[in-house]
Homo-oligomer: A and B are copies of this chain.
Amino acid sequence: MNPFRFELLHTSKKSRARVGRIHTPHGVIDTPNFVAVGTNGTLKALDNAAVHDIGLQLMFCNTYHLVLQPGTKVVKEAGGLHKFINRSMPIITDSGGFQVFSLAYGSVADELKSRGTKKHGNSVIKIDEEGVLFRSYIDGSKVLLTPESSVHAQKDLGADIIIPFDELPPYHISPEALLRSFERTHRWQKRSVDTHLSMRQNQAMFAVIHGGLNWDLRKKSCEILRELGFDGFSIGGSLGKNKADILELLANTVPHLPDPFPRHLLGIGDLASLEASVPHGIDTFDSSYPTKLARHGVALSHQGQVNLTKGENKTNYGPISNDCQCYTCQKFSRAYLHHLFKAKELVALQLATIHNLYFMVHKMASIREAILSDSI
């Protein structure tokens, strides 16, 4: 029996929002759920045992980074990523495609700022049908990432959910170029899933729906990828430039995905976008936003964001939130956290990250409750 299984428990009477359970070899992921980003096999400033205690059910690691450091062979020799990083709960890895194309075109944010004038970075040597050849930022060595090598790397890592190698087109792109990229990204995903299926080992693979902001292409992408044997679907490619774009994209894409399969939204930004995406039927969301905010001194709360570095917290001897049961709120005051940020103490980053991660885990539980009672 395939250890990977999606159980759809309830769909809201009010929207496409749904509650489910993704079963994996490393336990259950209750959905909808937040997926924290632990690029190098750790969340920034927080060890994996602490992350486990907070109850984060799915962690997102980046194959691109792990290929370059420590190398996937080191991880495989350790017994796989779970054992290497000491995480007993589920992990998802991406293909590395996002990072190599960000190197080539700049990140989406960079690109929006530069209005598409930014060209290939120095580190990308060649992009062709085979894959992407680039230089390691660590030792300058040449690395070839292809659909096959990405899947092999992800097999070495052994995450519960893996992603096919895809091309991330720039946001500023001509319709013709988008179409060429669209066709290649689907050929690459076919090669990826074929490689995956030829060597199956307790992993699920989620397709990446492409098509930019062209709804016909998004629909076509769903139709193509539904036929290839994927275990779930993630929505990737260019998601547009703001929350309105994302929501319109979801409204025009999710209806073309089969209900019995989990749906992941790749690299969502802020909490508001996440909350707005739930009614469109998205099950999981990866975002570095809550942990990045924490490192900038901003704590999440049900009453809005709390900027711990602001002067008003200098003599606030209460916790971030009176109703929060997290390690940080149980032990430390806003005034102390304010002081730690002002004194540039590393522990400030850790304590704020604990709080924001705990907030997200519990926020998602309350979202699931709301869906079960059809109020979302």
Q: Which of B74, B78, B336, B347 contacts A84 (CB 8 A)?
A: B336
Against B, the Cβ 8 Å flags (1 = close, 0 = not) of A53-75 are: 00000000000010001100010
Q: CA A336 – CA B74 in complex, angstroms?
A: 10
Q: Which B residues are CB-close (under 8 A) to A314?
A: 70, 74
Against B, the Cβ 8 Å flags (1 = close, 0 = not) of A315-354 are: 1010000000001000111011011101101110111000
Q: In the bound complex, do residue A49 and residue B327 qualify as a contact, i.e. CB atoms below 8 Å apart?
A: yes
Against B, the Cβ 8 Å flags (1 = close, 0 = not) of A6-47 are: 000000000000000000000000000000000011111111
Q: CA A51 – CA B84 in complex, angstroms?
A: 26
What size tier do the contact residues of chain A reach?
35 or more
- How many copies of this kind of chain does the complex include? 2
In the complex, what's the smallest C-beta–C-beta distance from A331 to chain B, in angstroms?
5
Q: CA A327 – CA B86 in complex, angstroms?
A: 12
In the complex, what's the smallest C-beta–C-beta distance from A339 to chain B, in angstroms?
4
Q: CA A332 – CA B77 in complex, angstroms?
A: 15
Instruction: Say whether, besides A42-B340, A327-B49, A78 and B333 are in contact (CB < 8 Å).
Output: yes
Q: CA A338 – CA B332 in complex, angstroms?
A: 31
Q: Which of B43, B47, B335, B345 contacts A42 (CB 8 A)?
A: B345
Q: In the bound complex, do residue B46 and residue A347 qualify as a contact, i.e. CB atoms below 8 Å apart?
A: yes
Q: CA A313 – CA B42 in complex, angstroms?
A: 18
Q: Which B residues are CB-close (under 8 A) to A338?
A: 70
B-binding residues in A (CB < 8 A): 40-49, 65, 69-70, 74, 77-79, 84-86, 314-315, 317, 327, 331-333, 335-336, 338-340, 342-343, 345-347, 349-351
Q: 24 A–B contact pairs at CB < 8 A? A: A40-B339, A40-B340, A41-B339, A41-B343, A42-B345, A43-B347, A44-B347, A45-B346, A46-B347, A47-B350, A47-B351, A49-B327, A69-B342, A70-B314, A74-B314, A78-B333, A78-B335, A79-B317, A84-B336, A85-B336, A86-B336, A346-B346, A346-B349, A346-B350
| Nearest 7 A/B pairs, CB to CB | A40-B343, A70-B339, A45-B346, A47-B347, A42-B347, A86-B331, A49-B331
Q: What 15 new A-B contacts, CB under 8 Å, besides A44-B347, A78-B335? A: A40-B340, A41-B343, A42-B340, A42-B345, A47-B347, A47-B351, A49-B327, A70-B314, A70-B338, A70-B342, A74-B339, A77-B315, A84-B339, A86-B331, A346-B346
